[in-house]
Structure 1
Amino acid sequence: MITLTGSTLTLEEMRRILFQQEEIQLDTEALKRVQKSRDSVDRIVANKETIYGINTGFGKFSDVSIDEKDVRALQLHLIRSHACGIGDAFPEMVSRAIVVLRLNALLKGFSGIRVEVVERLAFMANHHIHPVIPSQGSLGASGDLAPLSHLALVLLGEGAIWNEGQKIDASNVWKDRGMDNIVLEAKEGLALINGTQAMTAQGVVNYLEAETLAYQSEWIAAMTMESLRGIRDAFREEIHIARGYQEQIAVASRMLEWMDGSQLISAQGEHRVQDAYSLRCIPQIHGASWQVLNYVKEKLEIEMNAATDNPLIFEDGEVVVSGGNFHGQPIAFAMDFLKLGVAELANVSERRIERLVNPQLNDGLPAFLSPEPGLQSGAMILQYAAASLVSENKTLAHPASVDSIPSSANQEDHVSMGTIGSRHAAQIIQNARRVLAIETLCALQGTEYRGVEKMAPKLRAKWDELRKVCPSVVEDRIFHHDVERIADHLYEDTGKSK
């Protein structure tokens, strides 16, 4: 059971919530803060004070006053009109993350929402009531308005939810559980949708998958090193200490651990003086991607525990301030940065694939690792596929955050496009996993030609594990199936605590 406080949620806890389906509970002190904030909103409404989002219109309509009798209708109209998400839905896991992250933000007690609503969100998480949320249509400021409106719809008994991978109408979601639909009071609609939780939720899933992939890329690269009789000297600790990047030092250390005891890895001058950069510079290249991951982790863990709606209520309701915490620029930059870090893991992997299959570069392995070169094509088109994926990644890696289009009659004249960046990062990660799956397939075959009995013990254990997923290539076959099975096998590690 994970306790949500509004300020202490970590990525490892999100891994347990998302991949291990761990339940959540609400911190008692956080609920007290929520109630005090709600009391403030009720007082503002009763006193007929004019406060943005409580008794005014939204965006360009912020100068339109709303009568007390219409505040419920205002919130309902807000949710329905803003629920205009476009395109394919976010994966259900991302939807679950959106629910949890929006709930955690509301628990900070700055949003003026009722305890009843936050408890209903917690019920949704614990009972796997996951909204169907279209993935397109957000500018990333004022937050993720369109996606989060589809979350809010479910509270109202509208919209759609996931049910065993299928989309079903949410009209009976609460009736079936003996509960009433939520009727939104003053400010509650705005509190639910004015935030960065769609881009952040996709970003959390992205990070957890990318971190796993970064670790996996090291043993995959080590197996390629064995296939190509790579030189271990380039991983000596003093080289990496001399430069000083801790991530580079750590990658080199882990690589040496993977290759420890190998009879296939060579010494400097034994077969050649130097390896190509895609082998020799693994600590430098992969280490730089770990620097990206560390940056992204820091930003995500801040944003996961941030108040990102508007206005915010402080000092027991005496101060209600309109600001811009809904602006997704920090996550937009983080996701664009993540795209670069993961795309480079795939780029260098593809270069290692080329070395494995190219008879001019693979140190005596069969051309294209073919069982019968010429009669059988072997891994020839596997390299084509990897090249296609990394080329696609290069277009997806263009930063979404450099774009901005004004909205709301130019009131909202600069937006982050962070949700686009987060979605593109997700696609890059899927592509990169398949590139690394192709490298795995080739490295399995390469080490088999060299002699698996000579492999490092830790890599031999990986080889045995993967051969259950991808049998030895003794004849050309439909390699698509092998790539997908290996990719699925790699993905399964994402749910395991690091």
Structure 2
Amino acid sequence: MVHLNGSTLTLMEMKRVIYEGEEIAIDPLSMEKVMKSRLAVEKIVASGETVYGINTGFGKFSDVRIQDKDVDTLQLHLIRSHACGVGEYFPEPVSKAMVVLRLNALIKGYSGVRPCVVERLCDLANEEIIPVIPSQGSLGASGDLAPLSHLALVLVGEGKVHYQGRIVPTKGVYDERGISPLTLKAKEGLALINGTQAMTAMGVINYIEAERLMDQCDWIGAMTFEALEGIIDAFHPAIHEARGYPEQMEVAKRIRKLTSDSKLVTHQGDKRVQDAYSLRCMPQVHGASRQSLAYIKEKLEIEMNAATDNPLILENGKTVVSGGNFHGQPIAIAMDFLKIAVAEMANISERRVERLVNPQLNDLPAFLSPDPGLQSGGMIMQYAAASLVSENKTLAHPASVDSIPSSANQEDHVSMGTIGARHAYQIILNTQTVAAIEMICAMQALEIRGITLASTSAQKLYEKGRTIVSSIEEDRVFSDDIEALSTWLRADQFQWNIHGQFILG
């Protein structure tokens, strides 16, 4: 059970909730904060005081006073009108993360919602009734208004949900489970949608996927290193200590450990003096990409525990202030950083694929073909990898430097953070596919060299890989192989464990 209090949620806990199905619970002290902030809203409504988001319109309509009898209706109109999401749906884990993160923000006690609202969010997550949320339509400032509106629709019994492997209308699930839709009261609609939880939820999934992918790229890169009879001297500890980056030193250590008992690796002068950069510089390149993870993790864990709606109810309800915590720039920049870091993992992986298949760069059969000329072997797999790498370069263009005004220029600078997070996810998927192509080619090359000469680690990975993709004995539809191995890589099948060893699931 992960206990939420609005302040201490971690990425590791999110991983357990999203991927392992661990349930969540609300800390009792946090629920007290929720009740106190709600009392403050109710006092404002009773006093007749004009306060943005409670009894006014929104955005450019912030100067329009809403009559007391229409305050509740205002919230429902807000949710329905702002539910303008378009495009493909966010993956279900992202939508579940959104529910958990919105809940965690509301229980900080700055938002003024009733306890029943946070309890409903908790129930949705635990009972796997997950809102269906279109992925496009957010500017990333004034919060992720469109995506979070689709989340909020589910609370009032509208919209659609992921339920028991299907996408179905919320109303049908509520009727089946005996759940009553909520009627949103003053401030609650705005409190549900004015935040950065779409980009942050996507960012959480991106971080988890990217961290695993970087582990996988180390192992697959080491397999290629052996297949190309790489020069291990370039991984000497002193070289990397001389530069001083911990991540670079760690990657070099991993490559040494993975290839420690290989009969294929060479030394300076055995066959050549130096390797190409895609082999020799793996610690420097992989390590630099890993450096991004610490920064991104820090920003995500701050944002996961942040109050990002507007206005905020402060000083135990004495003060209600409009600010800009909904602006997604911190996460936008972090996601752009992640895009570059992961794209570079694909760049160097594709160059290793080229060295595996190009007969001018190795002494293996041309394109690893079983019958060069009659059969093309891995020739077009390299094309596919190159295409994905080029696509990554366009996706890596920073979203955070773009802005376009909205709401009649009241909201005149926005973050585009959700676009950055979505593009980062696509780059991760593309890079997983490039890594799968590298692994297919590396397995074939090792087989040609003699798999018994490879390291224990390479043999272990090869044996598992061969249960998914068979040896290339004749040309076939390699698209199926690439997809199968990519799917395996996305299933958390192998990673670096706390004891400094790679493990296969």
TM range (shorter): over 0.9
Counterpart position of 1:85: 85
2:401 counterpart letter in structure 1? V
SS of residue in 2 equivalent to 1:401? coil
Change (3 A) 1:304 1:495: farther
Question: Contact conserved, 2:57 with 2:63, CA < 8 A, in 1?
Answer: yes
Cα RMSD, aligned residues only: 1.2
Counterpart position of 1:370: 369
2:222 counterpart letter in structure 1? A
Matches of residues 23-62 of structure 1 in structure 2 within 5 Å? Answer: 23-62=23-62
Counterpart position of 2:230: 230
Counterpart position of 2:450: 451
The number of residues matched between the two structures is 497
Q: Does 1:427 align with 2:429?
A: no
Aligned-residue offset at 1:14: 1.1
Matches of residues 409-428 of structure 1 in structure 2 within 5 Å? Answer: 409-428=408-427
Between 147-156 and 6-15, the greater mean CA deviation after superposition: 6-15
Question: Contact conserved, 2:215 with 2:496, CA < 8 A, in 1?
Answer: no
The CA distance in 2 between the partners of 1:23 and 1:492, in whole Å, is 21
Aligned-residue offset at 1:205: 0.7
Counterpart position of 2:168: 168
Counterpart position of 1:201: 201
For residues 170-198 of structure 1, give each alpha carbon's deviation from its aligned partner in whole angstroms, at most 9, with x where no partner exists.
12332322221100011000000000000
Matches of residues 277-426 of structure 1 in structure 2 within 5 Å? Answer: 277-362=277-362, 364-426=363-425
1:32 counterpart letter in structure 2? E
Aligned-residue offset at 1:22: 1.1
Question: Contact conserved, 2:469 with 2:485, CA < 8 A, in 1?
Answer: yes
The CA distance in 1 between the partners of 2:339 and 2:435, in whole Å, is 16
Counterpart position of 1:479: 478
Aligned-residue offset at 1:375: 1.2
Counterpart position of 2:96: 96
1:306 counterpart letter in structure 2? A
The CA distance in 2 between the partners of 1:231 and 1:103, in whole Å, is 52
Question: Contact conserved, 1:208 with 1:494, CA < 8 A, in 2?
Answer: no
2:30 counterpart letter in structure 1? A
1:360 counterpart letter in structure 2? Q
SS of residue in 2 equivalent to 1:171? helix
Matches of residues 127-276 of structure 1 in structure 2 within 5 Å? Answer: 127-276=127-276
Counterpart position of 2:503: none
Question: Contact conserved, 1:15 with 1:495, CA < 8 A, in 2?
Answer: no
For residues 73-93 of structure 1, give each alpha carbon's deviation from its aligned partner in whole angstroms, at most 9, with x where no partner exists.
110110011011111111111
1:70 counterpart letter in structure 2? D
SS of residue in 1 equivalent to 2:492? helix
The CA distance in 2 between the partners of 1:417 and 1:271, in whole Å, is 51
The CA distance in 1 between the partners of 2:446 and 2:244, in whole Å, is 33
Question: Contact conserved, 2:215 with 2:495, CA < 8 A, in 1?
Answer: no
The CA distance in 2 between the partners of 1:179 and 1:345, in whole Å, is 47
Change (3 A) 1:91 1:474: same
1:402 counterpart letter in structure 2? V
For residues 91-122 of structure 1, give each alpha carbon's deviation from its aligned partner in whole angstroms, at most 9, with x where no partner exists.
11111111111011111111001111100000
SS of residue in 1 equivalent to 2:372? coil
SS of residue in 1 equivalent to 2:490? helix
Question: Contact conserved, 1:232 with 1:266, CA < 8 A, in 2?
Answer: yes
For residues 342-371 of structure 1, give each alpha carbon's deviation from its aligned partner in whole angstroms, at most 9, with x where no partner exists.
000000000000000001112x11110011
Question: Contact conserved, 1:377 with 1:476, CA < 8 A, in 2?
Answer: yes
Change (3 A) 1:333 1:482: same
1:7 counterpart letter in structure 2? S
Q: Is there any run of 5+ residues in structure 2 with no aligned partner, and where?
A: 498-505
1:440 counterpart letter in structure 2? M
| TM-score w.r.t. length of structure 1 | 0.98
The CA distance in 2 between the partners of 1:492 and 1:92, in whole Å, is 15
Change (3 A) 1:473 1:496: closer
SS of residue in 2 equivalent to 1:406? coil
| TM-score w.r.t. length of structure 2 | 0.97
1:50 counterpart letter in structure 2? T
Runs of 4+ in 1 over 4 A off after TM superposition: 494-498
Question: Contact conserved, 1:219 with 1:255, CA < 8 A, in 2?
Answer: yes
Counterpart position of 2:502: none
Aligned-residue offset at 1:458: 1.6
Question: Contact conserved, 2:216 with 2:494, CA < 8 A, in 1?
Answer: no
Give the percent of matched residue pairs that are identical in Structure 1 and Structure 2: 65
The CA distance in 2 between the partners of 1:67 and 1:249, in whole Å, is 64
Question: Contact conserved, 2:216 with 2:495, CA < 8 A, in 1?
Answer: no
2:408 counterpart letter in structure 1? A
Counterpart position of 1:461: 460
For residues 430-467 of structure 1, give each alpha carbon's deviation from its aligned partner in whole angstroms, at most 9, with x where no partner exists.
11000000000000011111111111112211111111
SS of residue in 2 equivalent to 1:120? helix
For residues 259-299 of structure 1, give each alpha carbon's deviation from its aligned partner in whole angstroms, at most 9, with x where no partner exists.
11111111111111000000000000000100112211111
Aligned-residue offset at 1:5: 1.1
The CA distance in 2 between the partners of 1:200 and 1:253, in whole Å, is 33
Change (3 A) 1:497 1:190: farther
Question: Contact conserved, 1:16 with 1:495, CA < 8 A, in 2?
Answer: no
